[in-house]
Structure 1
């Protein structure tokens, strides 16, 4: 029998049973159990973990636990505001791309608005999300902690808030996305790139009044929708500025 002492820090406590939160506690582990296995047995998805210390030394997820071990588990360093000494995450992502599960239908178009390639289909089964995330190196966004425990999902984010705009702010802050945002680059519906078109190419895809008031248009070649800088664009621009941080204007 292996008994180890665990201590989880910061927001990782949200995943634990209430009596185990914000304190060290002993837990009986299976013989040969790894750090990853026991962390997830206790309710914390491995994608939420940035650093594991066993007896004061940094280890990876596959580290086997032995009797008497003391395990400290830390979340993303952005939330802790400390300098990491060793990253235990494997396979760093070169491009930030997402796949959102059925619970996040309002968040997906907002991420596309910010310029982030985001797959979403409310009929995706968990197995498809796992496969697409692995094949296309996408970060899984979900409110289902069990989905993040799937073995091949290496990058994920458990979204805590409920309203889409609050979810957007949460993801921006947790993943430090402000510097990578490229607003108004993707179609909110299709996730396809937008391109500029001449006013005389718009035809009947925009109301006559819009053609009279505006000269610049973009379109999506998948759904053929046309977009212009109207009042809706202005509201979305204000949202992007508030989330990503608008550049300071000279005094």
Structure 2
């Protein structure tokens, strides 16, 4: 029999039973287990964890838990750098790129509107999302904590909000993305890069009123969707302004 004392800090408590939140948990088990196994047995995805201290010493996910261990588990630190202690990730993702599960289509479109690289398909199953994340070094965004428990996923985030607009604000704040916003640079439909194109090259694809009133156009390098500053542009600009309002 092995007995340990364990405590989860800050937003990691979102994942565990209310009675166990923000208190020291006495946990007993009867088999050899890694610290990763113990943490995820409480429903906390390993991708949400940034620092683990065992008896005051930083360890990684491979650490084998021992009888009498006192364990503290912390989420991502926003306000100070803990690199001198230990980061569980091999290295941070400098330019955030996402793969988004099939239930977050509207969030995907909004993030693309803001210029972020988001792979998405409503045909992606969990295995596909996990493989893309691992092979292409992309952050998983999901509301499925079981997906984030897949071992090959090292960068992932469980989106707490349910409403798409609030999800966008949550992701922007969680990953500190405000300075990286580049609106109208990525196709909302396929994620391709938008490029300037001469009106003459596409005029046969334009409706008469569009051809008459607009001169500046963008085209998606992937699906060839054409964009211009019509009535939809004003609505999109209002959305962008709303998203860029940083809340406390």
TM (norm. structure 2) is 0.92
Contact 1:2 1:67 in 2 (8 A): yes
Aligned to 1:34: 34
Deviation at 1:95, TM superposition (A): 2.9
Q: CA deviation at 1:177?
A: 0.9
Structure 2: unaligned runs, 5 residues or longer: none
* 1:106 paired to 2:106: yes
- CA drift of 1:64 comes to 1.4
- Contact 1:177/1:244 (<8 A) preserved: no
Give 1:10's aligned residue. 10
Moved more, 25-34 or 51-60: 25-34
Distance 2:168 2:206 in 1: 29
In structure 2, distance between residues paired with 1:28 and 1:196: 62
Superposition deviation, residue 30 in structure 1: 4.3
Contact 1:6 1:25 in 2 (8 A): yes
1:180-222 Cα deviation digits (max 9, x unpaired): 2222111110111111111222324333222332221101143
Matches within 5 A, 1:47-62: 47-62=47-62
Match of 1:201 in 2: 201
- Measured in 1, the distance between the counterparts of 2:136 and 2:188 equals 20
- Whether the 8 Å CA contact 2:98–2:118 is kept in 1: the answer is yes
Q: Tell me, yes or no, if the aligned pair for 2:199 and 2:216 is still in contact at 8 Å.
A: yes
**Alpha-carbon distance between aligned partners in 1 of 2:31 and 2:88, rounded to the nearest angstrom:** 23
Report how far residue 245 of structure 1 moved: 5.3
* Equivalent residue number for residue 179 of structure 1: 179
1:128-167 mapped onto 2 (5 Å cutoff): 128-167=128-167
Q: Match of 2:123, SS? A: coil
Instruction: Compare 23-32 and 160-169 and name the one that shifted more.
Output: 23-32
User: After superposition, what is the alpha-carbon deviation per residue over 1:24-59, rounded to whole angstroms, capped at 9, x for unaligned?
Assistant: 110113443111110001110000111111112221
Q: Counterparts of 2:213 and 2:149 in 1: how far apart (Å)?
A: 51
Give the equivalent residue in structure 2 for 1:228.
228
Distance 1:163 1:200, change over 3 A: same
Q: How far apart, CA to CA, are the structure 2 residues paired with 1:3 and 1:180?
A: 46
Q: What residue in structure 2 maps to residue 249 of structure 1?
A: none
